[in-house]
Amino acid sequence: MSQRIDRVDALLREEIGQLLAREVRDPGVGFVTVTEVAATPDLRHARVWVSVIGDPGERRAALRALERAMPFVRHELGTRLRLKRIPALHVQLDDSMSRGTRVLRILDELERGEAPHDLPEDERLPTPVARLRREGDAPEPADDGPAPVEAESAAGGRARRSGRPADRSGPGGRTPRARPGSGHHLV
């Protein structure tokens, strides 16, 4: 039963999206994307999640226009689809993308040690602190002032900087190692 409902949900999402893009003439609908449809097992009701581009006022206006358009959409679905019952369509705003973007921005600001911008008054976040170093982090470059200039040696090669080991890393920053039993020895 679940697989059938999943197929019906996908079919409804595709058809509703096409109807909204091509058939609905209400300018209040604007640019709407149907992100998901979830029908009840008896197909009496279906929630239609939509993503709307614009500010909050434009989103509310688009949702009202979509609610007005749903009887027409349901009628058109009845003529296009071979289903025993066409569900009543209930539109809901899907703001998961904007919430996700906002969460990522806030996390980035917190990691940099900044206070997050434009938070609602009733929302609290932890006090921002600079990120603590953890085991496995890449070493931070030493801030001893300007790095010494590498001098050319008499043999034409580069001389090592004093106090630093020579970089022997191979491709991808890995240090080459001999395979056991291969007869090769790296010095």
The DSSP bridge pattern shows strands 32-39 and 45-52 to be antiparallel
Task: Going residue by residue through the chain, which has 187 residues, state the pLDDT in tens, using 9 for 90 and above.
Answer: 589 899 999 999 999 999 998 888 888 887 888 999 999 999 899 999 999 888 888 888 999 999 999 999 999 999 999 888 899 999 999 888 777 888 888 888 888 877 777 666 666 655 656 667 788 877 776 666 555 555 544 445 454 444 455 555 555 555 555 555 555 554 4
Q: In this structure, which topology does domain 2-95 adopt according to CATH?
A: GMP Synthetase; Chain A, domain 3 (3.30.300)
Three-class SS state of 89: strand
Query: Are residues 131 and 123 in contact, defined by beta-carbon separation less than 8 angstroms?
Result: no
| Beta strand ranges found along 53-187 (DSSP E) | 88-93
Whole-model pTM: value is 0.55
**What are the boundaries of each domain within the chain?**
2-95
Cα–Cα distance for residue pair 43/35, rounded to 1 Å? 19
d(CA 6, CA 187): 61
